[in-house]
Structure 1
Amino acid sequence: MTLYFNDDNSRSSFPMYFGCQTKFGDAASTPLKLIKLHVEQQVNAKFPLIHQVATTMTFKNDYSRVLEGALEFTLPEKATICGFGLDVDGVIVDGVVVEKEKARITFEKEVRKGVDPGLVEMVQGNIFRTRVYPIQAGGIRIVRVIYQDQSKFGNDHFIFNIPIYFNTTLDNLDISLICAHPSNHSQPQFLSNIKFQQPFINSNGKYCSELHLVNVKPLEGEQSLMYMLRNLAQEQLICSVEVDSVDLNQAYFALCYMPPFQQFNTMIDNNEKAMSICILWDASLSRANVENRNHEINILKNILNIWQSNGIHVSITVIVFRDVLEEPNIFQLHDKDYWSKLNQFLTGLSYDGATNIFQLATISTIIPNITHYFLFSDCLSTIGNNDPTQLNQLTTKPIWIFNANAVHEPTNFSLINYLTNASGGSYISRDKIIGQYSVNHIVQWIDKPQARYISTDIITNANVHDIYPSHSIVLVPNTERFVLVGKMSSTASAKIAINFSISNQMHRKELIIDRADSTSENYGLLRRLYAKQMLVELTAFPEKNKKRILDIGMKYSIVNDFTSILVLETLQQHIEHNICPHPSRTTLYNDYMKYQQNKNQQETTKTQAKLTTVLNLWQARCACSTHTIILQNWDPKTPYMEKIKSSSNLQTAYEIYLNERQSYSKSPSFYFDVASYFFSQAKSVITKSSFIDKFNQQHLTSIFGIQLFSKKNDSNSNASSSSVNKYQILGLRILTNVLELELESPQLLRTVAYKLVELGLLNLAENVLRHIVNLRSDEPQSYRDLALLLQEPNIQNKNIAEIFDLFKKLVFGEWDERFTEIEVTTLHEFNWFLFQFHQQQQISNSLDNRLIRHLSVDLRIVMVWDTNDTDVDLHVIEPTGEECYYSHKNTAIGGMISRDFTRGYGPEEYLVRKAVKGTYKVRAKYFANHQQSLTGATTIMVHIYKYYGQSNQQKEIVTLRLDSNKEMIDVCKVEFDDDVKRTSQNVTTHGQNSNMTVHENITCDGCDMSPIRGDRYKCLFCPDIDFCQSCHSASRANNDPNHLDNHPLLCIKDSKEYIESLYIHNRSKIIHTNIQCNSCFMQPIIGIRYQCICGINLCEKCEFMGLHDKSHYRTKIATPV
């Protein structure tokens, strides 16, 4: 498994835990077996702040099928991936840095071809993922990951921690530790008690430790090698300079220094005898590790006890947050039993739901007069907006972030750094919470003004520039050395001064940076350390700084938010994807460069070919009431649901869910099913419309606006409403757990988004769908899902131009061939959008007129699903008994189904223009799974439309899941059973007597009167559009979705005399041979032709509709030339 869950369901991740791509556990699975592990570490003792670790892993696939492997792992806060290799023909080859989205698209495209790509990418925070394909049945693959890390500081030495995590017996374990340029007193010494260590031996001026073991069993607990290197006195400054390998006249410098905090350690009394602490407690699923939470509760208790003993009055407000904020709870430090109550409250919490940390933005306005914020969280947000600037109001007071996660557990250090530096607070990590760091030091740290780096002065220039940190930052006293990096001339030394503020007193440190030593062995570490320090500042606002972050990753060959490392096998692959091979692959690199020099730079445009393809598909389609939609009740019939359904009330149901979660904690289907049950219970109490309205209101105020904390009310009149509200809140909490199972997973994001759309939680669904667009910009379904959502009536601040651009990208974008013909489904929806909004804004001017035609239909059913490379089929059984599906696409009554999408997502679409009376049964079949990995259930979302594109359109949305191949489920039934009754009502409604003229076989397109009685109004341009006298008088003709309001209507008194009527002129014999209308492209033009002074020709219809500049002079030509 890529993400490991502890017994208490908290999320953890182990670096050396490699598995098939089963990121969640709907399907039973076993991780691929790690059989060999080789770890090599290098450090330069002259500048031991940074070191490099290369981990080479050999895996075996014991399955009987070819698989893609996925290794998800965490790195320490300061670590950076700088190398990735994969075995090709028995030799490990180096990957190259590629823009992240391009690397993923390339990887997945090559996987579908069945060839050998490899990829390593950043997921979120300190979580990384490497993907490898193929791993043959019974075969092995070798992966090498190289990363650069910073050592820990301890008094007069540096400490190196190298993880050696594995959970299966290894055939071979090889460890190599190399310490170059040691001084006489700097022999490395092991600190850990782990058995995988061998004493260091001085060899050729280097200290080396090598270990080679066979048949090695894993150890319990944290498995890592730890050793220290004595180097200097505590306050001594060390500095190193490295010549830039690209520009030899330039060098990178780095220095680390521990300011003399002890000299300024005079305790400043806390003059404020009253404090107001707001504790923000993350109770999401990923925080369920009991041991970690107990450590955090213990440090909180100790801090409060010290304040209590010092006589400080502290008011404590505790706000629990998950996917939504909860009601605040107030505690007073002077109360005798305050800790008993607070401890009971914190230990009794249920850790459940996703994490929305950005909803904390409004707390400062709700809870006034706060002096300090204590945030207990890993700061990894899995739902909601993801913009740190939203929290600016919160940073007006110091934010102290407590996180007892182990070093290998996921943490969002970028957001932590931003919040603490912006607010003047700091980060209390696990080593400070449970280590030797005294709680008294933490209290002093909180009570005193924060130590800060202020600035750097350049005394002797030597072209010193681009210094980082570039702004003031908070320092952690006595725990971490201050690190400064920058660029300078490689041929001169420089003198600088660093300014600090410690306990509101200035401290200035002057130093000389020697000129670069070209013989030093830094392995390029200073260059990458410089890049890492730049990224520390930029990654707090990744979207704002995307270009710079991307440029840094590409230039310095490191993995970040927008770059990955990709391994391709052949020259053809590199040429096809325009990716230059790594220079270490000399022959391949030279062949690629030769090809680039010789290839023809002129590439043929595909725009016209694309237009022709879409036009042909669209023309084929164009050629082609109380009413009931009965949704099938979803009953997964699983053991856990049987237990939950047996509960008598909400609290019992929730407790059963929590108990069952221990067995199904890694299953998205479990959360999906249980959440659906809770939502269904809410629907059973109130009507659907009020359910959506009330739930939207509650949800919007808690996530996107000011949290309206409800007051407890035990009145009987509010009992039903309160119960419904709790079902809704718990349903959403349970559903969002799916997002905690794996970060940045498009499948899980789609699963949640589709359910949110069904529930009408559109604003929250919009955030999720926008995130999917960022993750899967190569998949047209990402844009379609967002475009359809944005035009929903309930979406606030509708951006018509954005929707138009999304649809246009869908229709004219270049997509993988497995998505062929998604354009025609999208164009149908695009035209409905254009018809709805064409009068509001002139948005269709840039679209080819041949593609503009609104097609309304009586019944339209569209199915999409959340998994890639899977085949789900839509089946519709019509009232006649005829079944329409992929191998029987057209039916006798005019039903048709779209192309069969066999490689994932859909959409598959059924439509019939004129529905016949009876019942339409909608079904879905999980036909096949083509993924090169082991996956679980597939979630489908089905849109059911009656009278699509018409004023009386009805729509229902349902989400269901399919567990296994060949499974067939019923989705819904659609009834058309009132046509006769509706017709008779129309006759009576319009009050037209039997003496009026009857237009036999003519139906009104406004009210469906059949036949029309009285005056008949026929459109001159549309081939089959008629209105009765009442619809014409009531302006229904102008509002009918089948008809453009600027089309002229011809009044027909008697249809029998229609052909000879004075109101109509037959111009079908006027044919302008070889002349094309430059607006609608009719050729030849039939009827009157209008020739403009600018040289274009228009047919009569386009002239009437005013599709050309009206100020131009025209010639009317009624006789063919």
Structure 2
Amino acid sequence: MISALRLAVLMLLATVPAMAQMPVLKVKEPASANAVTLQSLKVDVQVTGNIATTVMTMQFRNNGSKVLEGELSFPLPEGVTVSRYALDINGHMREAVPVEKRKATETFESIEQRRVDPGLLEKTEGNNFRTRIYPFLPNRTRTILIGYEEELKGQRYHLPLDYRQAIPSFSLKATVWETLTKPELEEQPDGSFTFRGNGNTYIAEINKSNYQPDKPLTIHLPKSTSMPEVLLQKAGSSHYFLVNAYPKAQSRPRALGNRIGLIWDVSLSGLKRDRAKEMELLGKLINEKQQLTIELLLLNNRLTKAGSFTITRGNWKALEKVLQNLVYDGGTSFAALRPAAVDEYLFFTDGLSTFSAPDIRLQKPVHCITTAPRADYSQLKWIAAQTGGQFINLQTLSVKEAARQLEQEVLHFIGIKKNDAVREVYPSLPTPVNGAVAVAGITDNGSASITLQYGYRPGAVEMEQTVQLKPGTATMVNVHRIWAQKKIAEMDIRYEEHKEEIGLLSRQFGIVTRNTSLLVLETAWDYVHYGIPPPPDLQQECDRIAKQQRAQQATHVNNLLDKAVAKTAELKKWWNEVFKPKKHFPQPDSTGIAGNIPRPATRMTSERSANAMRRSAPMRESEIKDRAVSSPVPVTWAEAPKAEEQVMVRGVAARDVTASRARPVQKVSIETARFKSDKAYMKGLEGASAATAYQHYLQQRKEYAATPLFYFDIASWFYNAHKKDTALTILSSIAELDQENAELYKLMAYKLKENKQYEQEIFVTRKILEWRPMDPQSYRDYALALEDGCFYQQALDTLYSTLLQSYTREAAFRDDGIEEIIITEINHLISLHKHRLNTSRIDKRLVAAMPVDVRVVINWNKKNTDIDLWVTDPNGEKCFYSHPGTSAGGRISNDFTDGYGPEQFLLKKAVKGKYTIAVNFFGESQVTITGPTTVMAEIYTRYATGQENREVICMQMPAAGKEGVFIGAFSF
């Protein structure tokens, strides 16, 4: 029986070679493995010259009884990006519009609370794309359309079609326009799929019912001539042009070094690479060289030197055996790489540094080689370019071509001869000629000619080729988008330098990039309300609504500062109040949480229930009429500390306490819940040695590879066994499970904090902030990680900036009261480290020394989750959401019912006796793909006194409705 906590992954592929780009739909596991099925697939392929346009229309059905959130993810080849996305809305397909990524995510998440039909398609790290679909209603279907243009490599078009199960309705059509030679089918899904000619156009088509395609489609487009092909697209008085040239490839020998550093990426994602093809290339290079020394470096979340191999006469069996028996595990940390005594490096990887910044500090040439279906091509190109190496994409090159590129100086396209008639020509960087080269640009003269220049080194022209741009070669192909993709791909190599221009270009041409998404909304009112440009079919209605002012754009809360000032005054008043605890009489021991007061019959009553209902209900037009509109404020935060500034971090007890003159007091011992898991994969670990336990983990991983909870639990076991390095490797594997998943990264951040691995915590929380700058929790988590790492000024600046950001009204309402927690933490930093800090930018109305005997704060990693903090004092009085103040002075912060938290308990003066801490998990209002909710609790005694003690506990929640989950206890 599969655990209900595991992920169901509807993979649209079974066993697919590494070059395949197959979509994968993921949802949380419902009642059965077939709860979501692919009902219909329609693929339309159109090829003109060297450009192919692919449109896939997929219909999925939710056969289960639960509302689900789906996530369809898919990688695309190098240089290719999505340019069309549509979603079914009320029975009709609605085209998406390009929107700045942050705004698109904010809008999507604001609307999805209403359980209507937004759709979001975004690019994640590497050339990977995903679309989020919510709600996925029971016994209903959702239809998604995705389209993209690509420049074909090697005159071949490839579409993977290896499916696990029969599809009720399947159709595939391929059209090749304006060709003198009949296309060749190298691979095809069905024998009846054949090209039939109609003049210079060839069409192949099949339509099947209950059909399971299990073979890919690969079309070879033979060229009857080596003459350049020219495509022109008119744009006002100008033309976009695309030239496909086929210069006679020339090369000359280049000797590989005699001492090679072989960097082999052994992170978890390495299992998805075509390692057989990588080994074939390596063997070919070794056999050509005959004699050399290879230093083997294994890279995952750390770097391991795996030996030096002297190879004579091409005999590399010892190295081959080592590579064939490698274990792939952990995240990827490019920052772990260190120079070796070698002439150059061969780096086999997907280019995704999931557990550190992607910077590489190697001085010798690094040749980056990838076979991964999901890769960061821009990063690999940049590493190769800055070190003087080469980028080898083994998905598009044969082993023979790749070896030739490494062993010889290959002819490159190095630019065009100066020509005032053309502009914005790409590629503008030297590009290897592997049979063909495609050059795109803009001309104001439709009959101009351009001269392509080739050479082996930049600036050294070896040959030229003149091409005429003829007006008669106009085409219906979207040449403008091919041009835009080429320009964006080149700028993306140094994304930070060009991100603003990339954003403008991608929104103008409707191309998905790192900072631009495609968004579909349900109603015209939504487009007007959220300030999203509508698709053409809704433009007229949106204009009417805007003119009549029946809908008001969503407003942003400029900052939380005013609320923070008011909350500070409230906290000061509480801190200065004298409390008289009620008299305590001994109570008998009992199971569960001591001193529980009778709980309400229902979870939410009166005002609390009404507030929660208002949060999830859609606004009426009358409710938002005449509200003011404000523009979002640009996001800013303190810069992350540079790698060279990293210091050996220390525990809380060793912090700077020069501000404190308090005399030493007895340390309060804090007891926390012990880790335990009853999952099937944990059986057999009790009493096992570390080596045996690790083999058990690898064996169990075959079944639980896509389950985050599996890695969390096994890592916890190794942490408890004091095998910190192994635990970190296993935990970091979670970073390889999904792209830009903040919930998974929060889970890792909590565990890293708990185990005092602060350098990694800083990186992980920084990534969350990059992905979700719309959440105050992202700034706060990063600030607290900086404080853990002893970067106090950056921590203070980032924490204070949390109060100055612009948030949507929905986010501000969801997180109402978070100011109390942030104020407490700002004053904690100032109290302990004020002599090291510049506080001139902090509003003085927020500064107040408020040390307390007890502070407890809980955080959780998933939104739309309701968790409550309970603290029971020695008098048996429980402080929680419906009893927020105790007679002893205990105070609990605002109740968060559908956000990420946090919730905080403060007690200025502790009464003697035992305190018990628990959380009440009421459940989630949305099903997501990341597994159960993870809670992190921080328990402080003598907080902000200079003599504080902190314990951190990170645990995953049991089934919803579980009351009084024990977190910890301590006695004063």
With the length of structure 1 as denominator, give the TM-score of the two structures: 0.73
**Alignment match, 2:624:** none
Deviation at 1:599, TM superposition (A): 9.5
Alignment-mate amino acid for residue 327 of structure 2: S
**Alignment match, 1:732:** 728
Q: Deviations over 1:245-299 (max 9, x none)?
A: xxx11211111223322xx45x6484x8x7011100111111125x832332233
**Alignment match, 1:417:** 381
Does 1 or 2 have the higher relative contact order (CA < 8 Å, sep 6+)?
Answer: 2
Asked whether the 8 Å contact 2:73–2:130 carries over to 1, the reply is: yes
1:683-762 map, 5 Å:
727-762=723-758
In 2, Cα distance between equivalents of 1:7 and 1:326: 33
CA RMSD, 1 decimal: 3.1
**Alignment match, 1:325:** 303
Distance 1:359 1:606, change over 3 A: closer
**Alignment match, 2:354:** 382
Distance 1:513 1:211, change over 3 A: same
Q: 1:228 aligns with which of 209, 220, 241?
A: 220
Asked whether the 8 Å contact 2:11–2:23 carries over to 1, the reply is: no
SS at 1:627 equivalent:
coil
Deviation at 1:53, TM superposition (A): 1.1
**Alignment match, 1:99:** 100
Asked whether the 8 Å contact 2:58–2:143 carries over to 1, the reply is: yes
Distance 1:249 1:165, change over 3 A: farther
**Alignment match, 1:678:** 718
State yes or no: 1:499 paired with 2:499: no
In 2, Cα distance between equivalents of 1:198 and 1:776: 46
SS at 1:510 equivalent:
strand
In 2, Cα distance between equivalents of 1:768 and 1:5: 31
Deviation at 1:196, TM superposition (A): 7.2
In 1, Cα distance between equivalents of 2:558 and 2:288: 72
Asked whether the 8 Å contact 1:866–1:938 carries over to 2, the reply is: yes
In 1, Cα distance between equivalents of 2:824 and 2:805: 12
Aligned residues: 872
Asked whether the 8 Å contact 2:872–2:915 carries over to 1, the reply is: yes
Alignment-mate amino acid for residue 536 of structure 1: A
In 2, Cα distance between equivalents of 1:411 and 1:96: 26
Alignment-mate amino acid for residue 323 of structure 2: L
**Alignment match, 1:990:** none
Deviation at 1:564, TM superposition (A): 0.6
Asked whether the 8 Å contact 2:871–2:879 carries over to 1, the reply is: yes
**Alignment match, 1:138:** 139
Distance 1:427 1:580, change over 3 A: same
Q: Deviations over 1:451-470 (max 9, x none)?
A: 333232135x32x1111122
SS at 2:883 equivalent:
coil
Distance 1:893 1:423, change over 3 A: closer
State yes or no: 1:820 paired with 2:802: no
In 1, Cα distance between equivalents of 2:15 and 2:756: 33
**Alignment match, 1:623:** 573
**Could you tell me the percent identity over the aligned residues?**
26
In 2, Cα distance between equivalents of 1:341 and 1:319: 15
Deviation at 1:559, TM superposition (A): 0.4
Deviation at 1:124, TM superposition (A): 1.9
Distance 1:677 1:828, change over 3 A: same
**Alignment match, 1:655:** 695
User: Which shifted more, 906-915 or 810-819?
Assistant: 810-819
**Alignment match, 1:452:** 412
Alignment-mate amino acid for residue 644 of structure 1: L
Deviation at 1:607, TM superposition (A): 6.1
Q: 1:486 aligns with which of 434, 441, 444?
A: 441
In 1, Cα distance between equivalents of 2:309 and 2:441: 48
Q: Deviations over 1:352-379 (max 9, x none)?
A: 111113432x32xxx12x2221111111
Q: 2:681 aligns with which of 618, 640, 647?
A: 640
Which protein shows a greater Rg? 1
**Alignment match, 2:591:** none
Deviation at 1:175, TM superposition (A): 2.0
Q: 2:771 aligns with which of 767, 772, 775?
A: 775
Q: 1:911 aligns with which of 901, 906, 910?
A: 906
State yes or no: 1:72 paired with 2:73: yes
Distance 1:268 1:414, change over 3 A: closer
Asked whether the 8 Å contact 2:556–2:806 carries over to 1, the reply is: no
Deviation at 1:739, TM superposition (A): 0.7
Asked whether the 8 Å contact 2:753–2:761 carries over to 1, the reply is: yes
Deviation at 1:567, TM superposition (A): 0.5
**Alignment match, 1:523:** 477
Alignment-mate amino acid for residue 493 of structure 1: A
Distance 1:811 1:209, change over 3 A: closer
In 2, Cα distance between equivalents of 1:812 and 1:467: 40
Q: 1:305 aligns with which of 287, 291, 306?
A: 287
Distance 1:639 1:226, change over 3 A: closer
**Alignment match, 2:649:** none
Deviation at 1:534, TM superposition (A): 1.0
Alignment-mate amino acid for residue 220 of structure 2: M
**Alignment match, 1:979:** none
Asked whether the 8 Å contact 2:188–2:216 carries over to 1, the reply is: no
Asked whether the 8 Å contact 1:11–1:286 carries over to 2, the reply is: no
In 2, Cα distance between equivalents of 1:585 and 1:951: 61
Q: Deviations over 1:1006-1045 (max 9, x none)?
A: xxxxxxxxxxxxxxxxxxxxxxxxxxxxxxxxxxxxxxxx
Alignment-mate amino acid for residue 269 of structure 2: S
Asked whether the 8 Å contact 2:414–2:459 carries over to 1, the reply is: no
Q: 2:167 aligns with which of 152, 160, 170?
A: 170
**Alignment match, 2:113:** 112
**Alignment match, 2:658:** none
Distance 1:400 1:617, change over 3 A: closer
Asked whether the 8 Å contact 1:317–1:329 carries over to 2, the reply is: yes
Deviation at 1:148, TM superposition (A): 0.8
Q: 1:535 aligns with which of 485, 488, 496?
A: 488
SS at 1:355 equivalent:
coil
Q: Deviations over 1:197-232 (max 9, x none)?
A: 53333458643333222121242xxx4222233333
Q: 1:943 aligns with which of 938, 942, 947?
A: 938
1:244-323 map, 5 Å:
244=235, 248-261=236-249, 264-265=250-251, 268=253, 270=255, 275-289=258-272, 292-308=274-290, 313-323=291-301
Q: Deviations over 1:643-699 (max 9, x none)?
A: 12231x3222211221122222222121112112212222xxxxxxxxxxxxxxxxx
Q: 1:36 aligns with which of 40, 63, 69?
A: 40
Alignment-mate amino acid for residue 943 of structure 1: E
In 1, Cα distance between equivalents of 2:458 and 2:798: 55
In 2, Cα distance between equivalents of 1:379 and 1:611: 41
Distance 1:660 1:933, change over 3 A: closer
Q: 1:808 aligns with which of 803, 808, 811?
A: 803
SS at 2:693 equivalent:
helix
**Alignment match, 1:834:** 830
State yes or no: 1:565 paired with 2:518: yes
Asked whether the 8 Å contact 1:10–1:285 carries over to 2, the reply is: no
In 1, Cα distance between equivalents of 2:801 and 2:670: 30
Alignment-mate amino acid for residue 378 of structure 2: S
In 1, Cα distance between equivalents of 2:552 and 2:740: 39
In 2, Cα distance between equivalents of 1:342 and 1:586: 63
In 2, Cα distance between equivalents of 1:8 and 1:135: 27
User: Which shifted more, 488-497 or 824-833?
Assistant: 488-497
In 1, Cα distance between equivalents of 2:243 and 2:71: 37
In 2, Cα distance between equivalents of 1:916 and 1:799: 36
**Alignment match, 1:345:** 322
Deviation at 1:11, TM superposition (A): 9.9
Asked whether the 8 Å contact 1:495–1:511 carries over to 2, the reply is: yes
1:188-207 map, 5 Å:
188-195=183-190, 198-203=193-198, 206-207=201-202
**Alignment match, 1:402:** 369
